[in-house]
Structure 1
Amino acid sequence: MKVALYAPFKPLDHPAPSGDRTIGRELAAALAEQGLEVVVPTRFRSRWLSARPLSWLAALAARREALGAARREGVAAFLTYHTYYKSPDVVGPYVARTLGIPYVIFQGIYSTKPRRRLATRLGFELNRRALLAARAVFTNRRLDAANLGRLLPCERIIPVRPGIDPALFAFDAAARRELRQAWGVGEAPVVVTAAMFRDDVKSESLAYLFRCLGALAREGLAFFLAVAGDGPMREPLAALAARELPGRHLFLGLVAREALGAVYGAGDLFAFPGIRESLGMVYLEAQAAGLPVVALADGGVPEVVEPGITGLLTPPGDAGAYRQALRALLVDKARRRDMGEAASLYVRAEHDSGRNYGAVAAVLRRLAGRA
């Protein structure tokens, strides 16, 4: 069975790494594992479509392109990944309606705030229409499920836990020894963090972490920080790290996802505050590699970390509590080991993308059989 998979926010082959791209790729891989053939009907990006009238002609062209591809390939269902008011799906409902095939959304997001502003009202309405057209809407966040319940009947909302392929981040003892030797860290506990250095909450979180670790360094705690990532805020972040953590940090640059498992495995704990983090796939990746997490109980973080079992989550805005959580794991090797083991088991049991996203394939088959 062939399924059209469309990502209006960002094509899954986009060169810029992000959590959104990771989730989309995991979804596509899981569908393929379940025996579905994925067809990309168009790569059109609808980001801020409502504010760019010149892109409306491109949207019409994308509709024709997607319809032609879906008809030519004989797809039995149309699946859209991630639609919301900034990037509404204006392609999928049209194609599915024209061909008489089921339309399904994975990670549909609904919020009524955008309808109150002129600049976002059109995007809100386009997204609302897409959600209403869907036979089923999968959601990987509890908050999103609650918001969707204000628009859709509960039987059309299907919660699914976010997932990754845990095997990609399996612990490798040889790689750990090699990297730690290259970093020159000896027996000191290594804190690993990973993020894109964007001028937003990602950089805010890294700065928050650097300052908290700097305070612990001045207390005399022994540790080393390894930072994976890159982006436009690298220079100010590097300057801050040099002031707060002189001689005890290393910027690794952009690390390919297939190499991240070794980086996590070379560490002893994963720390990224996650200020207003929508979900945070890095937490799942680090836990799969056997690292306990230290983060804020903010946004979607509590949905991918078991507080007190696989990591320590602290109240947003309480830097003192965050420092204390870091300190607690830095000084307690046995606790780090126990939480790290629990983290690895937790991801494999609760967040395996092949298992979790397999439910999407089952629903697509069922709906296509009814079409």
Structure 2
Amino acid sequence: MNIAFYAPFKPLDHPDPSGDRTIGRELAAALTEKGLSLTVASRFRARWFSARPTLWLQGLPARREALETASRAGARAFLTYHAYYKSPDIIGPYVARELGIPYVIFQGVYSTKPRRCLKTRLGYELNRRSLLAAELVFSNRRLDVENLGRLLPREKIAYVRPGINPGAFAFDAAARRELRRAWDVGTRPVIVTAAMFRNDVKTESLVYLFTRLGELARSGLDFFLVVAGDGEMRERLVGLAGRELPGRHRFLGRVPREGLGAVLSAGDLFAFPGIRESLGMVYLEAQAAGLPVVALADGGVPEVVQAGHTGLLTPPGDDAAYARAVAALVVNRERRVAMGEAARAYVRECHDSSRNYGTVAGALLRLAGEG
């Protein structure tokens, strides 16, 4: 069965890596694995549609082109990935209505705050209309499920746990030996972190981490930090690491997702605070490789890390607690290993994308009369 697919925030082949892109790709792969064919109906980017009048003019021809594409492909349903006020779906409801096929949203987000601001009011209204038009809205965050309940009846909302392909991040003993030799770390505990160096909460989290690790280093704790990532804030972050952790850190630059498993395998624990983190797919990737996590109990992090079992989560704002959590795993190898084994099992059992996103495939088939 063919599905018309659209990602208004950004296409899944966009060159900039992000958790949003990762989730979309995992979803698409799982649907394909279940036997569905996906046709990209449109590549129209609706980001900040409210504030960009040029997009209003481009939207009408984009809708017509999407209708033609979906019709030629014989699409039996329309699936939109990640719709919210910043990137509302102006295409899916129209195409689905014209073709008489079910319209479904994955990762639909609803908030009433944008309606109070002139800059975001249009995006709010368009997103609200698309959510109301959907026959089913999936969400991979419990907070979003709760917010959607303010607009939609419960039977139109479905929660699905975020997922990855655990095998893609399976522990690699050979890579561990090779990379640790290259890094010349010997038997020292290696802390791995990974993020894009964007001028937002990603950099804020890395600054927080480097500062806490600097405090631990000055207290005499022995460890080595490996940082995967790159971006506009690189110079600032490299300078901060040089001051806080002289001689005990290494920046790898941007690591392709297919190479991240090797880097994680060479580490002993994964630390990334995740300040106001929406979800954090990298936590699942780290746990799949057998690394315990140290993060803040903030945003969507508790939905992908089992506190006290697969990692240590500390209260936002409690700097000392975060530092203690990192130190606790650095000094206790036995605890690290036990948590890492639990983390691997947790991802396999609860966050396998093939199994979790298979429910989406089943719903699409059912709504199209094929299930």
Q: TM-score range by the shorter chain?
A: over 0.9
Q: Following TM superposition, by how much is the alpha carbon of 1:363 offset from its aligned partner in structure 2, in angstroms? A: 0.2
Q: Following TM superposition, by how much is the alpha carbon of 1:370 offset from its aligned partner in structure 2, in angstroms? A: 7.8
Q: Following TM superposition, by how much is the alpha carbon of 1:213 offset from its aligned partner in structure 2, in angstroms? A: 0.5
SS at match of 1:41: strand
Cross-structure match for 2:173 = 173
Query: Which amino acid in 2 is paired with 1:227?
Result: V
Cross-structure match for 1:123 = 123
If the length of structure 2 is used for normalisation, what is the TM-score? Answer: 0.99
Once residues 58 and 177 of structure 1 are traced to their aligned partners in structure 2, the CA distance between those partners, rounded to angstroms, is: 53
Query: Which amino acid in 1 is paired with 2:183?
Result: W
SS at match of 2:368: helix
Cross-structure match for 2:367 = 367
Cross-structure match for 2:4 = 4
Q: Tell me, which stretches of 5 or more residues in structure 1 are unaligned?
A: none
Query: Which amino acid in 2 is paired with 1:45?
Result: R
For residues 5-45 of structure 1, what are the alpha-carbon distances to aligned partners after superposition, in whole Å with 9 as ceiling and x for unaligned? 10000100000000000000000000000000010011000
For residues 32-60 of structure 1, what are the alpha-carbon distances to aligned partners after superposition, in whole Å with 9 as ceiling and x for unaligned? 00000010011000001111111112111
Cross-structure match for 1:358 = 358
Q: Following TM superposition, by how much is the alpha carbon of 1:62 offset from its aligned partner in structure 2, in angstroms? A: 1.0
Q: CA RMSD in A?
A: 0.8
Cross-structure match for 1:104 = 104
Query: Which amino acid in 2 is paired with 1:231?
Result: G
Query: Which amino acid in 1 is paired with 2:77?
Result: A
Cross-structure match for 1:189 = 189
Cross-structure match for 2:256 = 256
Once residues 65 and 164 of structure 1 are traced to their aligned partners in structure 2, the CA distance between those partners, rounded to angstroms, is: 32
Once residues 55 and 174 of structure 1 are traced to their aligned partners in structure 2, the CA distance between those partners, rounded to angstroms, is: 50
Cross-structure match for 1:213 = 213
Once residues 162 and 174 of structure 1 are traced to their aligned partners in structure 2, the CA distance between those partners, rounded to angstroms, is: 29
For residues 265-322 of structure 1, what are the alpha-carbon distances to aligned partners after superposition, in whole Å with 9 as ceiling and x for unaligned? 0000000000000000000000000000000000000000000000000000111000
Once residues 182 and 3 of structure 1 are traced to their aligned partners in structure 2, the CA distance between those partners, rounded to angstroms, is: 46
Once residues 121 and 210 of structure 1 are traced to their aligned partners in structure 2, the CA distance between those partners, rounded to angstroms, is: 39
Q: Which runs of 4+ in 1 moved over 3 A?
A: none
Cross-structure match for 2:73 = 73
Query: Which amino acid in 1 is paired with 2:59?
Result: A
Cross-structure match for 2:159 = 159
Cross-structure match for 2:343 = 343
Cross-structure match for 1:227 = 227
For residues 173-206 of structure 1, what are the alpha-carbon distances to aligned partners after superposition, in whole Å with 9 as ceiling and x for unaligned? 0110000000000000000000000000000000
Once residues 2 and 144 of structure 2 are traced to their aligned partners in structure 1, the CA distance between those partners, rounded to angstroms, is: 28
Once residues 276 and 292 of structure 1 are traced to their aligned partners in structure 2, the CA distance between those partners, rounded to angstroms, is: 20
Query: Which amino acid in 2 is paired with 1:89?
Result: D
SS at match of 1:45: coil
Cross-structure match for 1:31 = 31
SS at match of 1:252: strand
Query: Which amino acid in 1 is paired with 2:166?
Result: P
Q: Following TM superposition, by how much is the alpha carbon of 1:61 offset from its aligned partner in structure 2, in angstroms? A: 1.2
Cross-structure match for 2:64 = 64
Q: Following TM superposition, by how much is the alpha carbon of 1:70 offset from its aligned partner in structure 2, in angstroms? A: 0.3
Q: In percent, how many aligned pairs have the same letter?
A: 74
Once residues 124 and 55 of structure 1 are traced to their aligned partners in structure 2, the CA distance between those partners, rounded to angstroms, is: 16
SS at match of 1:369: coil
Once residues 263 and 156 of structure 1 are traced to their aligned partners in structure 2, the CA distance between those partners, rounded to angstroms, is: 41
SS at match of 2:53: coil
Once residues 320 and 370 of structure 1 are traced to their aligned partners in structure 2, the CA distance between those partners, rounded to angstroms, is: 55
If the length of structure 1 is used for normalisation, what is the TM-score? Answer: 0.99
Once residues 51 and 370 of structure 2 are traced to their aligned partners in structure 1, the CA distance between those partners, rounded to angstroms, is: 38
Q: Tell me, which stretches of 5 or more residues in structure 2 are unaligned?
A: none
SS at match of 1:44: coil
Distance 1:120 1:289, change over 3 A: same
Query: Which amino acid in 2 is paired with 1:15?
Result: P
Once residues 350 and 149 of structure 2 are traced to their aligned partners in structure 1, the CA distance between those partners, rounded to angstroms, is: 24
Query: Which amino acid in 2 is paired with 1:86?
Result: K
